[in-house]
Amino acid sequence: MIPSAFEYIRPGSLSEALAQLAQGGDGAKLMSGGHSLLPMMKLRLAAPGTLIDIAELPELQGIMIGTNEIVIGAATTHAQLEHHAELAEAMPLLPSIAGLIADPTVRNRGTIGGSLAHADPSADWPAAMLALDATVEVIGPKGQRSIPAASFFKGLFETDLRLDEIVVRVRIPAGSNQRGAYRKFRHPASGYAVVGVAVVLAYEANRCSGGRIAVTGHSAHAFRAKAAEAALAGYAGQPDQTERLIDLAFTGASPLEDRFADADYRTQLGRTMLRRALVDAISPV
Ligand SMILES: Cc1cc2nc3c(=O)[nH]c(=O)nc-3n(C[C@H](O)[C@H](O)[C@H](O)COP(=O)(O)OP(=O)(O)OC[C@H]3O[C@@H](n4cnc5c(N)ncnc54)[C@H](O)[C@@H]3O)c2cc1C
């Protein structure tokens, strides 16, 4: 449970961090909240020679709420998102998801940027970012890139992020005519989503005109249930409509299996979480 020796550095700016990352090559690792990286180091699943602590970088801080979008700095902690009054007003889905992550200790240190970069298959933020159609902004030696969440998650702990890039912020379109909900089945030990489902329904003239459905925990990486999304227009919460959406959402998905949940149980949990999220989204409290 003791990590191998490493050098710890704390850059004062984003450009300094980028230079240190480039200089450190494969042996350097960024650390934000450390709540995924440090456990891996303690288990010797990761052994970086240099840790670059970016948690306090000014360029990665802040929650900005605009008329058309919400911008969240990568080093924003889950707790900051959970307790942000203005955000709770503008997009209550985000604080409610933050509050479901693990426990207060993890929420006080863990960050949204770290969670997205780590791409744990059971993390909550990936489903939220997919359902909200967020964009992940990253910076590297060749400049900035904006990566749609839809193409950010590539596989088990694998993203579109390059080794020499840093997640700087996420941009989330803010629509007034939308309703969102998130339901997860918590792992009883860690709180991670055995399966979690985020639903965002778009409305025009009081009629559901479409939306997005994103699932985490079920497969190697969070995914959008595109076939179900295509059938969302006109959704009014009728049980037969709901069951059809659920069938469409998990058809063709490849469930993970572990000691806690085998493939069938995981899919069953996913179906139940989607059913509950659809009911929540269609009838907001
Ligand atoms: C007991 C426990 C329970 C947990 N339960 C949950 C849960 O219920 N739901 C959930 O979603 N998560 C859960 N987590 C994970 C937690 O949310 C982590 O905080 C999060 O996954 C990683 O964020 P971090 O800031 O700690 O990242 P770190 O651990 O610092 O880094 C993780 C990885 O991301 C990279 N990285 C970090 N920041 C950046 C950046 N800005 N740009 C590029 N790369 C970066 C690092 O190099 C590293 O590879 C749990 C963790 C623990 C220890």
Which atom of ligand 1 sits closest to the CA of residue 35? 26
Reported as a single tens digit per residue, the pLDDT across 130-154 is 999 999 999 999 999 999 999 999 9
Q: Is 191 in the pocket of ligand 1 (CB under 6 A)?
A: yes
Total number of domains in the chain:
3
Q: How far is the CA of 208 from the centre of ligand 1 (A)?
A: 35
Question: For residues 26 and 193, which has the higher predicted lDDT (pLDDT)?
Answer: 193
Domain of 115: which CATH number?
3.30.465.10
Same domain? 37 vs 66: no
- CB-based burial, 247-276: b 16+ in 10 Å, e otherwise: ebbbeeeebbeeeebeeeebbbbbbebbbb
> Which pair of tokens denotes residue 6?
């490493």
90, part of any domain: yes
Which atom of ligand 1 sits closest to the CA of residue 39? 53
2, part of any domain: no
Q: How far is the CA of 212 from the centre of ligand 1 (A)?
A: 25
Domain of 15: which CATH number?
3.30.43.10
Q: How far is the CA of 114 from the centre of ligand 1 (A)?
A: 5
pLDDT of residue 208: 96
207 by Cβ neighbours in 10 Å (0-12 / 13-18 / 19+) ranks as: exposed
Residue 283 has pLDDT above 90, yes or no: no
215, part of any domain: yes
| Protein residue whose Cα sits closest to atom 5 of ligand 1 | 102
Same domain? 182 vs 233: yes
Range of the domain at 222: 178-282
Same domain? 169 vs 139: yes
